[in-house]
Homo-oligomer: A and B are copies of this chain.
Amino acid sequence: MPATIKDVARVAGVSVATVSRVLNGFSNVLPATRRHVEEAARQLGFAPSAAARSLITRRTDTIGALLPDLHGEYFSELIRGMDQAARSHGLHLLVSSAHGHAQQAAAAFGAMRGRVDGVLVMSPQVSEGGSVVDALGSMACGLPTVLVNTPDASRRLPSFVVDNLGGARAMVEHLLATGRQHLVFVGGPRHNHEATERRRGCLEALAAAGAPKPWELEGDFTEAAGQAAGRRIAERLRAARPKLPRPQAVFAANDMTAVGVLAALTAAGLRVPEDIALGGFDDVPIARYLSPALTTIRVPIVELGTAATHALVQRIENGPQQEAASPPGAFTPSVLPVELLHRRSTALPAG
């Protein structure tokens, strides 16, 4: 039903080749001819068929984004960054979310083949079968791919990550600097790469400072898990058990966990930071509005999205030969720096 290039050619009284040249901005067309064609196209409301075009050009002008089942601000900021960068290159963005497991992500990757010129993959989970890169297997070869906050031991693919390790270290160093030695670490999901890195940073920083090992509690990046942890912490703080060291600060693996911890501590009648300090990770918007405002690690989410997208575009433009030729170890992940935001939840007690 919609007009085709043939219709335009007929109305303009030229060949389809000429119409194509005009539409693609070639210079070797007489001004008068060009005008006729443009007039005919407008008159017919002509829109070129993307399918026909990409069949022959072998480009879809679209990039895909494979995302986990993210919650909240983090997700939207990331998409905004990706969309912004894609748009600046004249590309469209095809998103596919809710890929908790590496296998799901790999399946979605397969479904995108042929619809996109390249794919951004974010899949921080490491399941029994390994990371998403393992699940992808040979699929990724041929289709330009860039990883975002995704573990890849093989380093076969370009990768952008946030400095989870450095951020966790910075937080611990800050807590130590304020005189808190006895820490509680509330972790993230067991198989989540980011959670693992944050934990590692915490342990390393404590060890480097000669501070005692933290008391570790389990979590899963949710507020509910934080509340459960907070209740246990409150219990221990109140039970005056001289044998056990009194926790002086809580480092939650992400802000939502910290939100839960704070709620539980407050409900138990404890004061932050006077009775115990609290730090988070991510700097979600809620962080500054908590009482007390939450000390946390700001993560450059939009930048993460734009940087990965620009890298993907470059890879696409370098052509397919580059794809095949990436042996294991070919890429070193680009690490985006994070920033410690010092707020009241870790302030020194006035006394």
- Residue positions of A touching B, CB distance < 8 A: 1-2, 45, 47-52, 54-55, 60, 62, 70-76, 79-80, 83-84, 87, 92-98, 110-115, 138-139, 142, 259, 285-286, 289-291, 320
Query: Does A142 contact B92, Cβ atoms closer than 8 Å?
Result: no
Which of B54, B70, B110, B291 contacts A51, CB < 8 Å? Answer: B54
- Docked complex Cα distance between A115 and B115 (Å): 10
Q: Which residues of B contact A92 (CB under 8 A)?
A: 94, 96, 111-112, 115
Q: Known A51-B60, A291-B291; judge A2-B142 contact (CB<8 A).
A: yes
Query: Does A97 contact B83, Cβ atoms closer than 8 Å?
Result: yes
A228 to chain B, nearest CB (A): 18
Task: Known pairs A84-B98, A92-B111; list 6 more (Cβ under 8 Å).
Answer: A45-B139, A55-B55, A72-B72, A76-B76, A76-B79, A94-B94
Q: Which residues of B contact A291 (CB under 8 A)?
A: 291
Which of B95, B97, B139, B259 contacts A289, CB < 8 Å? Answer: B259
Q: Which residues of B contact A111 (CB under 8 A)?
A: 92
Query: Does B50 contact A115, Cβ atoms closer than 8 Å?
Result: yes
A135 to chain B, nearest CB (A): 15
Q: Which residues of B contact A95 (CB under 8 A)?
A: 79, 83, 93-95
Which of B73, B83, B97, B142 contacts A72, CB < 8 Å? Answer: B73
Query: Does B1 contact A48, Cβ atoms closer than 8 Å?
Result: no
Minimum CB distance partner of A115 in chain B: B50
30 pairs across A/B with beta carbons < 8 Å?
A47-B113, A47-B114, A49-B114, A50-B115, A51-B51, A51-B60, A51-B114, A62-B94, A72-B72, A73-B76, A75-B79, A75-B80, A79-B79, A79-B95, A80-B97, A80-B98, A83-B96, A83-B97, A84-B98, A87-B96, A87-B98, A92-B94, A92-B96, A92-B112, A93-B94, A94-B94, A94-B95, A285-B286, A286-B289, A289-B289
Minimum CB distance partner of A111 in chain B: B92
Q: Which residues of B contact A114 (CB under 8 A)?
A: 47-51
Identical chains bound together, number: 2
- Docked complex Cα distance between A101 and B97 (Å): 27
Q: Which residues of B contact A75 (CB under 8 A)?
A: 76, 79-80
- Docked complex Cα distance between A290 and B74 (Å): 20
- Docked complex Cα distance between A75 and B82 (Å): 14
Q: Which residues of B contact A1 (CB under 8 A)?
A: 142, 320
A66 to chain B, nearest CB (A): 12
Which of B48, B49, B60 contacts A55, CB < 8 Å? Answer: B49
A106 to chain B, nearest CB (A): 13
Q: Known A55-B52, A73-B72, A289-B289; judge A97-B115 contact (CB<8 A).
A: no
Q: Which residues of B contact A2 (CB under 8 A)?
A: 142
Query: Does B138 contact A45, Cβ atoms closer than 8 Å?
Result: yes
Minimum CB distance partner of A56 in chain B: B51
A17 to chain B, nearest CB (A): 19
In the A-B complex, list the 4 residue pairs whose CB atoms are closest, starting with the nearest.
Answer: A76-B76, A50-B114, A75-B76, A51-B55
- Docked complex Cα distance between A347 and B74 (Å): 32
Minimum CB distance partner of A52 in chain B: B55
- Docked complex Cα distance between A112 and B96 (Å): 17
Query: Does A79 contact B60, Cβ atoms closer than 8 Å?
Result: no
- Docked complex Cα distance between A94 and B116 (Å): 11
- Docked complex Cα distance between A289 and B255 (Å): 12
